[in-house]
């Protein structure tokens, strides 16, 4: 089983659906926003910083961040990043 297949299996076990691969080039920025469902980011390569009203997360390859539905957050990357995204209904 490849690393990506194993990561997808882990996300499915956590109840996530619609898993897809996403890649952001260097210097990408997503302004404050929310999602209607729980969201997860499983970092495969590179790094990304995701901030909420309460905390700032510095994520690198192998890290997973779950963002509950309705949580205000932003994201930025300096070097670029590749990650799996998925959603989970409440």
Chain segment 72-88, per-residue pLDDT in tens: 999 999 999 999 999 99
Residues 6+ apart with CB under 8 A from 55: none
Residue 40 sits in a domain of what CATH number? Answer: 2.60.120.10
Rounded CA separation 87/16 (Å): 5
Domain that holds residue 15: 3-88
Chain segment 6-38, per-residue pLDDT in tens: 999 999 999 999 999 999 999 999 999 999 999
What's the structural domain count of the chain?
1
């Amino acid at each position: 089983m490849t690393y990506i297949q194993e990561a997808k299996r882990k996300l499915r076990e956590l109840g996530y659906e619609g898993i897809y691969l996403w890649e952001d080039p260097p210097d990408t920025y997503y302004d404050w926003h929310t999602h209607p469902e729980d969201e997860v980011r499983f970092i495969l390569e590179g790094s990304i910083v995701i901030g909420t009203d309460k905390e700032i997360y510095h994520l690198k390859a192998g890290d997973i961040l779950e963002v509950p539905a309705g949580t205000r957050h932003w994201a930025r990357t300096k070097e670029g990043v590749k990650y799996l995204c998925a959603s989970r209904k409440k």
